[in-house]
Every structure is written in structure tokens, then in C-alpha cells.
Structure 1
Amino acid sequence: MGYKLSVIVPVYNKEQYIDSGLSSLLHQTLISNMEIIIIDDGSNHRTGERLKKFCQKHRNFKYFYEKNKGVSAARNFGLRMANAELVGFFDIDDYVEPAYFQNLVNEQEKYNSDITISDFEMYFSDGSKKKHRPVIEKYWDKRINMLKDFFAGNYVGNNVVDKIFKKTIVEDITFPEGYAVGEDMYFVYEAIQNSRSMYLNSSLSGYHYIFREKSAMTSKFNSKFYDPVKLSQRMLDDNKGSLKEYAYVHLIHEKCKLLENMLKNNGVGENREVYKQYRKDIRKINIINAFKILNKKQFLGLILMSI
């Protein structure tokens, strides 16, 4: 059967979330036209058995096992297995509303966009929640403008779970392996490089993104927080002309985020030389250019970090 959408789900343990996560996919209004590609990234026996049993019951769900190599390698495996014309992503410890993927596909068909973006709700450990973007609708038909807004933090976003991609634009790219943070960001960047159009409708917000206590983004400061800076440097090295200034400002923003993590998580002591150097880098930036490029929140963060 030819499917409209392949959804790639990497799983490493997290047995307690299998039922809620996969059930939310099973109850998608688009489910008859979806294939769910589950990549077991070397999970324990109980997790693997539960995943296999679920997939045996539901023909749209396909189980694959791979020796533990990390989430990027698992997603890359899933991309190779995907058969549909569109590709999306899902994290097993989140959940989605029944019409989430149907809405994304409807929007994609409306504009025939290479990348189609919705929005998500963030749920925090203290019980609070927050919508990621303001309500906005935007269409891009020039790659340079897509990249400028991506670097500037203007609504595009670094996540992959709030997007679907035409399979043709992601066939020759991969998530960078060996990184624990920022791999989504780099994948989105490379997908934009292959795209001619992108559409965002953030009034659609059916993805529930759960921040867990021990996730990569909430754990204590360690070397993985350097990953987005390294990947942002790769993007800077890859660009020239007017985009180079945008990529440079993006790199400074990632350095600001790294310093914020150091300060919040008592990481300055062991990384004092890097802390000093990044502060110098931030103070060297052309403030006028940063003001023109960054969104208001990111620009304010840069100013606060510089002083």
C-alpha cells in the first residue's frame, strides 16, 4: 500500500510511555494513510517485546531493531526505511491530538510546500504549559529568506516534531551522529538548503512536547551542551555573502544559550576559560546587525549576557 506520510519514532527504553505515545499515533484521523516506523535503538528486552507486540497488532506500525547508536542514527535508519511521499517525526514520550498529522498534510497539500510547519505545546515538570509560537501564518518561496528567518529565530524553529518534509528533500541528508543536543537544528538547516518552499500555520498546535527531568535538555551541565555551538559553527563555515552575517549572529546566539546553561547549572567553574572567551565573542558582535537580525527575545538575551 502506498502511504501518504511516514512517521519515524526512535525508541530507547522509556517503556512507561509506549502505550500513551503509540496510542496517540494509532488514533490519528490519517492513520489509514500513515506508516509508523519504530526504530528500537537497542532498548532493554521488555521495551523491545512491548514494541514488537504492538506492531504485530497494527499493520501500519513497523518495528526495526538497531544496536544502540543514539537518536540521530535511529532517525537516519528510519529515513532509509520510509516509503511515503512525506516524512514526519515523533518522540515516544510525547503525544499528539487525533487530527495533528491530518492537519499538517492538509496544509502541505494546500501549498505543495517542501517543508510544512505547525506548532506545539510545551509541558513542564511544575505543571505549567506554554504554546511555542504566537499565532502566525507565513509562506516562503525563496531559500535565502527561509535561511535568514531560520538563523534569526523567526518562527521556523529547530525542532522536527512540528514539521513534515517532502521525502525528496531529505533523501540525501542525515541527522548528524555523535551529537546529543542540536541535531534537530542541523537537520532542519540542511532540509531548508534542499527546499524551494516552506509554509507555517502556527494556529495548528496538536503536538504535546513533554519536558522530562532527565532529558538531554533538562539535565545538569556537561559537554553535550557544546554540541549546538559546534553545529552552528559548521553552518557558519558553510555560508557566504549576506547569509554569513546571519549565520554568525546565530552562532553568537548559541554561545549565549551555552553560557546561560553554565550559569544555571553551576558549569562555569570547570569551563571558566570557555566562559571568558565566549563573553569576549559576544561583546565583539555588531549590536546594530544583531538588532536587525535576531528576534526580540534573542536580542535581549544577547544584551543581558554581554553585560
Structure 2
Amino acid sequence: MNNLTIIIPTFNRPDKLNRTLNLLNKKNYKFNIIVVDDGSSSTNRNKNKKICQNFINVAYYWQNNSGPSQARLLGLLKSQTKYISFLDCDDYISIDCIKEVCFLLEKENKYDYVTIQSQYVTDIEKSLLLTCTQEKTISRKIKNNLLNTIIELIGFPINFISGWNQSNSIYKREKILKIYKVRNLSWAEDIPLKIMVNRFLNGLSIKKNNASLIEVSHGRGYQYSFKQIINLAKEINNNEDKKIVNLILSIITILRYIPSMLIKKLKG
């Protein structure tokens, strides 16, 4: 496991960061953590730095507020291990499962990354106490043709998606570094990365109970505007590869998110 770095962007959430670091370090495994503070206030900056100093495997970096995409890139560039994983400071991933994934990536050289499908819960700590991790791991190869990329983009049918998000995948560092690009978006900056990962990397999706947990919230990812949707479509269209494919994916993005935005506005 000393060939793994977990990269955690954070912004003004010292309590969540402290919880995540404690959960990651519950077992005596050797791995690295890089925390990138994306311009937290001076008070929270000091708190975040002190929290990180409590762990011998955590390196702390601070940057002017530039968004999570830039923070992840800084962590990626600072890392020096064969494998990396991105994790938001309020999410959870099982170190036992990550250990299995790193072993799998070593054994099965054909895979560039592995996605651990997430469960969405209201309270991470309660979920970890109530349910034990199941023994059996279900896995399937992720297809990277255009049809599957479209399915991943719209998130339907659920049975055909990999379950990828910015907090549940382990990558070969050299592979993700080649396709990673900073996305200057105020919303959904992870979606262009999701498309690039699905199209250009060979992946495996696995399902294991309580291995990856996302705490449900109605923060900035819940409410978005028409302008943000158009900016996201433009960003996808600017990918440096097949222009016709990018145009198709941009149009699908607009058709996917405008109805969702309107429904959420009606619900208040």
C-alpha cells in the first residue's frame, strides 16, 4: 500500500476533514495522503494544517481558491506513487477495499483504474456501525465505446453504469495524468473527467457493501443554472479529441440537465 496516494481537496470543512483522516487511518496500513486546501479562511486553514500534522502519512498543501479541479491536479503533481485516488473530504472509502484494488491492479495489468461503486447515505459513521462489509465482491469490466459513454453521462439505465464519481476510483497515476485537465467550472467539474476516463482508460467496476460511502446533501451540486449547464457543455465540446463525438456529448449534456434543473426549481 505504500505505492498509493489518496488526494483530498478541502475548503473550509475542518470537521469533515478530521473525520475522514481518522477513518482512513484506523488500520495500520502504509500509504500516503495529500490534502490540498483550496483557499480556506485563515482560521480554517490553521485548523486544517494542525489536523494534518496529527498524522505521519499526511502532507498538507495550500493554494489560493481555484476550485476542486485545480486542487486535485496539484495533489496529482505532488504525488509520486504508482497509484492514486481522489477523495472529497466529506466522503468515505474503505482502506481494506483499496488494498484489494491495488493488489488487483498489480495482478491484472490490463486495467488502468478500478471504480468502487458508492452507496449514498445520510450519515457515514452510522452506516459503518450498522452494516458490515460483505465478503463477496461483484465486478464487471467497464466498456469504453461511445454508447457506454453516453449511458455514463446520463446515468441511466442504472444497471449499465459503472457508478464512477470523483471519490471512489483508484487509478494508475501515469494513466490519469495523461488525460487530466483542469476544468474551470463552478458546477459539475468532474463530469468532463468522467467522460475522459470512460472513453480512454480501461476500467473495472466493483460492488462491495460499505466500501464507498457518499453523504447525501443538497449543497452546490444540487442547484444549478442554465448558464452552468451551457458552460459544462462547452467544456465537454472543447476536449482535445474527436470533435463530432464531443458535439454529440455536449448536446446530450444539455438535454440531460435542463429538464433536471427545471424539475428541481419546481420542487423548490
TM-score normalised over the length of structure 1: 0.69
Alpha-carbon distance in structure 2 between the residues aligned to 1:75 and 1:160: 10
User: Partner residue of 1:239?
Assistant: 242
**Quick one: which amino acid aligns to residue 168 of structure 2?**
D
User: Partner residue of 1:255?
Assistant: 255
**Quick one: which amino acid aligns to residue 242 of structure 2?**
N
Alpha-carbon distance in structure 2 between the residues aligned to 1:65 and 1:253: 33
User: Partner residue of 1:122?
Assistant: 120
Task: Compute the displacement of 1:201 (Å).
Answer: 1.6
User: Partner residue of 1:138?
Assistant: 140
Per-residue CA shift, 1:47-97, capped at 9, x if unaligned? 222222232232210000111111111111111101110110111112233
Task: Compute the displacement of 1:45 (Å).
Answer: 2.2
User: Partner residue of 2:130?
Assistant: none
Residues 18 and 93, structure 1, Cα contact 8 Å, conserved in 2 = yes
- Find out whether 1:219 has 2:216 as its counterpart: no
Gaps of 5+ in 1: 130-134, 268-307
Task: Compute the displacement of 1:254 (Å).
Answer: 4.5
Please say which structure displays the higher CA radius of gyration: 1
**Quick one: which amino acid aligns to residue 170 of structure 1?**
I
**Quick one: which amino acid aligns to residue 160 of structure 1?**
Q
Task: Compute the displacement of 1:109 (Å).
Answer: 2.8
Q: Secondary structure of the residue that 1:146 maps to in structure 2?
A: coil
User: Partner residue of 2:212?
Assistant: 207
Task: Compute the displacement of 1:22 (Å).
Answer: 1.4
User: Partner residue of 1:169?
Assistant: 175
Q: Secondary structure of the residue that 1:171 maps to in structure 2?
A: helix
Alignment of 1:46-195 (within 5 A): 46-112=43-109, 113-124=111-122, 137-139=139-141, 145-148=143-146, 149-153=148-152, 154-195=160-201
Q: 1:223 to 1:91 in 2, by over 3 A?
A: same
Alpha-carbon distance in structure 2 between the residues aligned to 1:249 and 1:56: 43
User: Partner residue of 1:17?
Assistant: 16
Residues 236 and 250, structure 2, Cα contact 8 Å, conserved in 1 = yes
Alpha-carbon distance in structure 2 between the residues aligned to 1:171 and 1:210: 28
The number of residue pairs the alignment matches comes to: 246
Per-residue CA shift, 1:229-249, capped at 9, x if unaligned? 3334345x84378xx3x9726
Q: Secondary structure of the residue that 2:179 maps to in structure 1?
A: coil
Task: Compute the displacement of 1:116 (Å).
Answer: 0.9
User: Percent identity at matched positions?
Assistant: 19
Alpha-carbon distance in structure 1 between the residues aligned to 2:170 and 2:209: 13
Alpha-carbon distance in structure 1 between the residues aligned to 2:243 and 2:237: 13
Residues 233 and 251, structure 1, Cα contact 8 Å, conserved in 2 = no
Cα RMSD after superposing both structures: 3.0
Q: 1:175 to 1:124 in 2, by over 3 A?
A: farther
Task: Compute the displacement of 1:192 (Å).
Answer: 4.5
Q: 1:231 to 1:147 in 2, by over 3 A?
A: farther
Per-residue CA shift, 1:86-122, capped at 9, x if unaligned? 1101111122334232232233234221111111111
Residues 28 and 101, structure 1, Cα contact 8 Å, conserved in 2 = no
